[in-house]
Amino acid sequence: SWRAPGCRRSQSLECGASQWLHISRRPHISTMAADLSGKDVERAQFVFSIYDSDGTGSVDASELGGVLRALNLNPTCATIEKLGGTKKKGEKKLTLDEFLPIFSQCKKDKDQGVYEDFLECLKLYDKAENGTMLGAELSHTLLSLGERLADTEVDEVLKDCLDPEDDEGMIPYIPFLKKLMGMA
């Protein structure tokens, strides 16, 4: 169940509301990540508070990728590590003040055209130039190129985001990509 950072389980929702107001009114947050809109800061605060499972006002750095992905960003493992994420739980904690500049930096990277980059890659497999590719090629690409996914991860992604193949094994890759990126 959700509770605001700093609230113990035994405290009422009143504590959550007052903590939320306290967090959202901190003046130094906007100066920490001046290029984030108020809405972005609110979204980041909300997601951060969900990942703050122990209510200490911090998130384990091993969860950085999850927090950023919950904010509809798609950082690579290398980017997460470069931004301060860790592989092992308990090595490092991040406060909201430390997280907001990371979110801002990662958001800038996303605004530079991650969707367009993925789209251009998938177009390489579109031999008929009609917005389709072989489903088997998509599966192979996810399994073998870039940051490789495990078989089970590929199966889950395809099940969740892929339209059925046609009689020739072709799939429309634009709807797949939009679903995958949370744009559909």
38 and 86 part of one domain:
yes
List CB contacts of 154: < 8 A, sequence separation 6 or more: 139, 142, 143
Neighbours of 24 (CB within 10 A): 13
127 and 74 part of one domain:
no
**Model pTM?**
0.55
Given a contact cutoff of 8 angstroms between Cβ atoms, the answer to whether 139 and 152 are in contact is no
- Check which CATH number belongs to the domain holding 92 and give it: 1.10.238.10
Tens-place pLDDT, residues 104-128:
988 887 444 567 888 888 999 999 9
Beta bridge partners of 137: none
Domain that holds residue 124: 114-180
138 and 162 part of one domain:
yes
Tens-place pLDDT, residues 64-96:
999 998 898 888 888 889 999 999 999 999 999
Give a yes or no: residue 67 inside a domain: yes
Rounded-to-integer distance, Cα 17 and Cα 25, Å: 12
